[in-house]
Amino acid sequence: MLKLVELNRVLKNPLRVNARVAYVYPGKYEVMTSSLAHDIVYMYVNRRDDVYLERFTADRGEAGYRSIETGSPLRDFDAVFTTLHYELDVVELVEVLESSGVPAKREDREIPVIAGGPVVMANPAPYTRIVDAFVVGEVEATIDRVVDAVSARAGERKKAVLEELSQLDFVYVPGLNEGAVRRYAPSLDDVEYPVRQVFDPDRQPAFGLGFKLELSRGCLFHCSFCMESRLFQPFRHRSLQKVVELVEKGLEYNGLERVVLYALSFPVTREDVKVLEYLSGKGVRAVLPSLRLEKLDDEVLELIRQVGQRELTLAPESFSVLAQRVLMKYPGLVELAKHKVASVVRAGFDVKLYLIYGVKGTGVEDVLETVRAARELAGTAKERGRRLVLSFNPLIPKARTPFAYIGMMGSDRLSRLEKLIDRELRGFARIREFNVKTSFVQASISLGGEQVADLVLEWSLRGGGYANWLKLARDKGVDLRYVYDGLDPESEPPWSRIVVDRLEEKVLRAQVEAIKHLVGSVGEKE
């Protein structure tokens, strides 16, 4: 059990509630307290009198995994809730379940496991041997009715709980209903927000201590590689009036002096600039998300400086003209992107730059275009005495994106490009790279159908890892070539049971055709 001194922890008598729910966060405590989803789920469930939600993390104590609130074992609970943000989170979930005496295989346990989060909303099929029910939608629009079902059937057999959940059109229960339709909150101003956030002041979250504030949800852009922008449409922004109200309450109630801003894209509206003006005027320090380049003029950069941000995260993704057109991040704006990044460095900021390589259909020259631009920027940073960190990531095809149908560049080729990047940029800037082998496993799960569900279960039971993934796939006769070849556009995708947006598939097919037109045959290109 973690030894924590938390602020705003909810304490109830477990004997005086109708149902006890475990929230298993598949990551360490510091990662959980960086997640806004954790605070939203915790607030929405624990504001009720009939249910007590207690949290578990992947931090194992001497007595195994125990709830933070009461030190109870997982088997004492009526249901398990979990949020999966990344495909590999399933390994930690399975570890917590199995080590707590709760079988990971859904047919072997009586406690229902109910999952939400981006990866299961996008494609629940790979997790169907582990998860009993999938919530498709945003917490504010779904959680109360899910908890109603759990509370109504507390103490009964798991099948009764699942039958109750299967009546909800936004919950997919394999074997009991045919699928689900996403639910979302139409207005962020109209939903309750977790102003009192739970954290231990002595344990630093990923972004440091601060009041977590979600400015917007969804995205105005449709970058071809991004899954989240498709899952959280339409774009919604909290009004400045609501932002001011939340900041003032949040800082006061939590005893904090800075704000951590959350948004898929920022700054993209005049409202975003007004938020910076407000924070600057109040003398409030802020931590900013990854920034769009178009709005980074002198005025905005000065406001960012005034709120205390010294390192900016920018994600131009590529400085190749062809790759930009395929990625649809800054199509036709490569020179503008280079100019904006350089102007940020010249303005006195350290920069962390996120870049993508290995876009299928592009070649070595496209990578070298990005490398040459990165070397120029590294030179500018050195002249100004600023720090430049380059994070290179292979393109990972994700569910519901065009690359699901185009596929991933071959692993050998990606490894050669990785070595090329290392060689060309050695001594110019600090480089961080995402493991190519891990990328392949992520893509295998994200694009996989129910044929990989057994594989995901067995692989998770063995602790994950690339070698285990390949061995188990061979042993089970699972053909993983779909990762490289892309899915058949004439067949139903593995996620067809889940409706995220009625126009989604039409937009997706149009983007696939546009990309194929740009790169011709999407085979390998030297």
Q: Where in the sequence of the chain do the CATH 3.40.50.280 domains occur?
A: 14-181
Rg of the chain over all Cα atoms, to the nearest angstrom = 23
Q: How far is CA 150 from CA 16, 18, 112, 114, 192, in A?
A: 16, 9, 9, 10, 22
Q: What is the pLDDT along the chain (526 residues), one digit of tens a residue?
A: 678 999 999 999 999 999 999 999 999 999 999 999 999 999 999 999 999 999 999 999 888 999 999 999 999 999 999 999 999 999 999 999 999 999 999 999 999 999 999 999 999 999 999 999 999 999 999 999 999 999 999 999 999 999 999 999 999 999 999 999 999 999 999 999 999 999 999 999 989 999 999 999 999 998 999 999 999 999 999 999 999 999 999 999 999 999 999 999 999 999 999 999 999 999 999 999 999 998 899 999 999 999 999 999 999 999 999 999 999 999 888 899 999 999 999 999 999 999 999 999 999 999 999 999 999 999 999 999 999 999 999 999 999 999 999 999 999 999 999 999 999 999 888 888 889 999 999 999 999 999 999 999 999 999 999 999 999 999 999 999 999 999 998 899 999 999 998 788 888 888 899 898 888 755 554 4
Half-sphere exposure of 347 (CA within 13 A, CB side): 23
Whole-angstrom Cα distance, residue 367 to residue 319?
Answer: 8
Output the DSSP codes for 65-90: S--TTT---GGG-SEEEEE--STTHH
Specify the amino acid at residue 508. L
Whole-angstrom Cα distance, residue 294 to residue 291?
Answer: 9
CA dihedral (97, 101, 102, 104) in degrees, to 10, reads 60
* Count of beta carbons in the 10 Å neighbourhood of residue 435: 13
Output the DSSP codes for 234-300: SPEE--HHHHHHHHHHHHHHHT-SEEEEE-SSBS-SHHHHHHHHHHHHHT-EEE---B-STT--HHH
How are beta strands 388-394 and 350-357 bridged, if at all? parallel
The token duo for 283 is 């003398």
Instruction: Write out 326-389 in H/E/C secondary structure.
Output: HHCCCCCCHHHHHHHHHHHHHCCCEEEEEEEECCCCCCHHHHHHHHHHHHHHHHHHHHHCCCEE
Write out the CATH class of domain 14-181. alpha beta
Coil vs helix vs strand at 119: helix
161 within 8 A of 149, measured Cβ to Cβ: yes
Specify the amino acid at residue 309. Q
**Do you know the residue count of the chain?**
526
The token duo for 505 is 């598939």
The token duo for 49 is 């009198």
Q: What is the pLDDT of residue 526?
A: 45
Contacts of 152 (CB under 8 A, 6+ apart): 164
What is the sign of the dihedral through the CA atoms of 68, 142, 492 and 361?
negative
Beginning with the edge strand found earlier in the chain, give each strand of the sheet holding 350-357 in spatial order: 311-317, 350-357, 388-394, 430-433
Q: Global pTM? A: 0.95
Please list the residues that pair with 391 across neighbouring strands. Answer: 354, 432
44 within 8 A of 144, measured Cβ to Cβ: yes
Q: What is the pLDDT of residue 504?
A: 81
State which H helix or E strand residue 304 sits in: helix 298-306
Contacts of 193 (CB under 8 A, 6+ apart): 40, 214, 246
Contacts of 30 (CB under 8 A, 6+ apart): 203, 204, 205, 206
Q: Which of 313, 236, 247 is nearest to 276 (CA)?
A: 247
- Asked whether the bond before 26 is cis by omega within 30 degrees of 0, the reply is no
Please list the residues that pair with 171 across neighbouring strands. Answer: 135
Whole-angstrom Cα distance, residue 2 to residue 265?
Answer: 35
State which H helix or E strand residue 103 sits in: none
Q: Which of 430, 467, 456 is nearest to 129 (CA)?
A: 456
- The DSSP call for residue 233 is P
62 within 8 A of 2, measured Cβ to Cβ: no
